[in-house]
Amino acid sequence: MRSSVAVLVVLDLLVSLSAQQASPPQAPVSPETSYMRVLLKPTHPPLFDAQHRPITAGGFVEGAFQDITHQSGVDKFQHRSGTPTKSTIIEVPGSGVALLDYDNDGWLDIYLLNGSTLAALKGQEPAPRAMLLHNNHDGTFTDVTNKAGVANERWGFGVAIGDYDNDGWPDIYVANFGKNRLYHNNHDGTFTDVAEKAGVALGGWSAGPSWGDYDHDGRLDLFVPGYAKFDPDNPPSCDFQGIKVSCGPLGMVGEPDHLFHNNGASKRAFPMRRATMASLQPLLTLTTMAGWTCWWPMIPARIISIAIAMTAHSRTSAISPDLP
C-alpha cells in the first residue's frame, strides 16, 4: 500500500514538473507587434541601383548620406572659440547654426554663427565673423555675409529665426556674450540690426534664444536665457590635481533670463515689454556633442525659468514699462 502511494506521489510530481516546463501559450500577434518585428528584423533585403545606391528602405542601409561639404562650398566657414587649450569657460561651448530662406526663393540658406577669442574681445585681433551662405539651387552655396550685413563679429552663443513683424520675411536674433543682435530682414537681401531700438540687445552672456507666441496674440515673443557672469579681464581659475583647468558654471553667479513680449510696433521702433527673472542656480549635466564636451544647464531648469517668466508677465507689477 505504501509503495503504491509513493508511486502516485512520484507520478504527480513528474506531471507537475512537466506542466511547469511546457512552453506558455503564444500571445496573439497584434498589428503593433507585427510592425515592430518588421522594424527589428526586416523581411526584405535592401535594393540598390546600378551604382549601388539604396533605393528602398529594406533594413539598415549603409552609404545613405555623402559628405558634400567641400563640393557645396560650406567648408569656407571656419568656427573659432578661444584657443585649443580652452583655459576659460567661455571658450568651451559652441555657437550655433540656422537654416532659413532669407530671400524667399524657396531654397533653404545657411547662417553659421561664430565664436570669438579673448584677444578679440580686448581689441587685440580681428573678431571672427558669422557667415550667411546663399543657396545657389545646384547643391552649392555662396558667401553673402558682407552684402547681407550679418557678420555679427561678437562671441555668438545661439541663433533663432522668426518673422517678428509678420511681414512674411524671416528675421534673425543672435545671442552673444555682450550685446545681442536682432537682424531685421529688409526684403532685398540685406538686414538691419534693430536690437537697440527694440530693447532686446541686453548685455552680459546670453545663450539659446527662442521665438514663440506665448500669449496667442498672433505676434512672436522672444525668450533669451542668460548663462553666467563672466569677466574676460578676471576669468575664474580652477585647479584639478595641481593642473589649471577651465572652471565650470557651478558656483558662478548666473545671468538673468528674459522674456520679451512683442507689442506689435513697427519694424523701425520695435519696443517690447520685458519680464526679468532672478537667475536660477543652473542644474548641471555633462553633455557631449559633435566631439565637444560642454557643461550646460539641464532643460528642466529652463522650463522652470519660462514658467516663472510667464507668471511674472501675468502680473503687471513685475513688468517694466515699454522700452524705447
Please list the pLDDT of the chain residue by residue as tens digits (324 residues). Answer: 555 555 555 556 555 555 555 555 554 544 444 434 444 455 566 677 777 766 655 544 556 678 899 999 999 999 999 888 888 899 988 899 999 999 999 999 999 999 999 999 999 999 999 999 999 999 999 999 999 999 999 999 999 999 999 999 999 999 999 999 999 999 999 999 999 999 999 999 999 999 999 999 999 999 999 999 999 988 887 877 887 777 888 878 999 999 999 998 644 334 445 554 443 333 222 222 222 333 333 333 343 333 333 333 333 222 232 333
Using CB atoms within 10 Å of the CB of residue 176, give its burial: 0 to 12 exposed, 13 to 18 middle, 19+ buried.
buried
d(CA 320, CA 158): 25
- The three cell numbers of residue 245 are 583647468
Q: Among 214, 209, 213, which residue's Cα sits nearest to residue 225? A: 209
Cell 550679418 locates to 150
Q: pLDDT value at position 283?
A: 29
Q: What is the pLDDT of residue 8?
A: 53
Q: Which pTM does this prediction carry?
A: 0.67
Distance CA 171, CA 98 (A): 11
pLDDT at 66 (0 to 100): 83
